[in-house]
A and B are shown apart, each in its own frame.
Chain A
Amino acid sequence: MSQLSMDSVARATPPRLSRRIRGLSDRTIAWLFIAPTIFLLLAVNIFPLIWTIRLSFTNFAANRPNAEVQWVGLRNYQRILTDPDTWATMQATAHFLIWTILLQVLIGFTLAWLINRKFRGNDLWTTIIVLPMMLSPAVVGNFWTLLYQPQIGLFNSIVAFLTGADPTSFSMIGDVDLAPWAIIIVDTWMWTPFVMLICLAGLRSIPESIYEAAECDRASKWRQFWTITVPMVLPFLMLAVLFRGIENFKMFDLVVQLTGGGPGNTTTLTSIELKREAFEKWRTGYSSAYAVILFVTVFGLASIYVKALNRVKDR
């Protein structure tokens, strides 16, 4: 903005307001600017967090607001941490998290590496690959439910074509062993483009001169990949893993649309279990304790992860 227009903006401040502001220190003005954000954060994040921690020590039920609330101490935590069903839910979540992140990182990085090479139709392919990410999870869930149908589903037909098996002999979302993989495939299909985009940003930020210097030193392509490409993309990749890890830890809509947590409890992730406890069984105190356990887990993991990320960036 030119000096002239800045002066005209300054002159546009009402005289009374400008007299008041002139008496305030820079620090006070800074506080005035950030106060609304701090207030909103306190109201929307911090207060509910403290309230949830408080509720986790009670037997409060949100559908019985007038019932007497009793202080139960650590009983809710004790029940959760000795319940085999909740333990199985944690394992299902771990299985989902580990495999989705692994597949998305591998495929996403490979796609980014291929897209980064200049070829005809590069932009068109990027747009096509990114499309799944733009769809609503509810739509994707319904769409893949249809693809997984044993009678008419395209997925079963393709597997049958490739392996020679009968397409109606297996049901991806109805089989106890296959259902966890069904949700992993859909999440990977949907979110690999996100990892690819972040990796692509990392690859494009590497100056060409570094590769030219490596060529002068007669470094092989393999060596260039491991000593230039991978270390320079690593902070971006770690950021993508952090985003996907947090997102998948609270994965809900896609899995509910696809399997509804079934068959049995094989695809019941923690967020689905939490929703059932809180809004179907109305055990608000119990579900608050569950939420606190999940919060501490994600917070702890994110803390060490961000520390590792900063260390990689500082290298």
Chain B
Amino acid sequence: MKGFVHGLFRLRRGPWEMVASVLIAAGVVMLMQPFAMWAYTWSFLVTLTGTVMFIIVSHFPE
């Protein structure tokens, strides 16, 4: 956990890709879940944030 947070502060690819992946996965689940309308409404913003973040952070150093 400490290494993960340290990687985030030092702008390392691994932890940031993890954050982006979690955002994308959460966005897709929110888009397709049958339980809460609010989650569906905000799903695209979450997925878009995750996808753009993924594209940017994949250029960070290892």
Contacts and interface: CB of A to CB of B under 8 A. Distances in A.
B47 A296 contact: yes
A1 B25 CA distance: 50
Nearest to A84: B37
B15 interface: no
Interface residues of A, number: 18
B43 A81 contact: yes
B27 A297 contact: yes
Nearest to A298: B28
Contacts of A94: 32-33
B55 to A, nearest CB: 8
B31 A297 contact: yes
Interface residues of B, number: 23
A87 interface: yes
Contacts of B41: 81-82
Nearest to B21: A304
A297 B25 CA distance: 9
Contact of A90 (B21, B40, B50, B55): B40
Given A93-B32, A296-B48, A81 B40 contact: yes
A184 to B, nearest CB: 16
Interface string B43-54: 110011011001
Given A77-B44, A293-B44, A297-B31, 11 more contacts: A87-B37, A87-B40, A90-B32, A91-B32, A297-B28, A300-B27, A303-B24, A303-B51, A303-B54, A303-B55, A304-B21
26 contacts: A81-B40, A81-B44, A82-B41, A84-B37, A87-B37, A87-B40, A90-B31, A91-B32, A91-B33, A91-B34, A94-B33, A296-B44, A297-B27, A297-B28, A297-B31, A299-B51, A300-B47, A300-B54, A301-B24, A301-B28, A303-B24, A303-B51, A304-B20, A304-B21, A304-B25, A304-B54
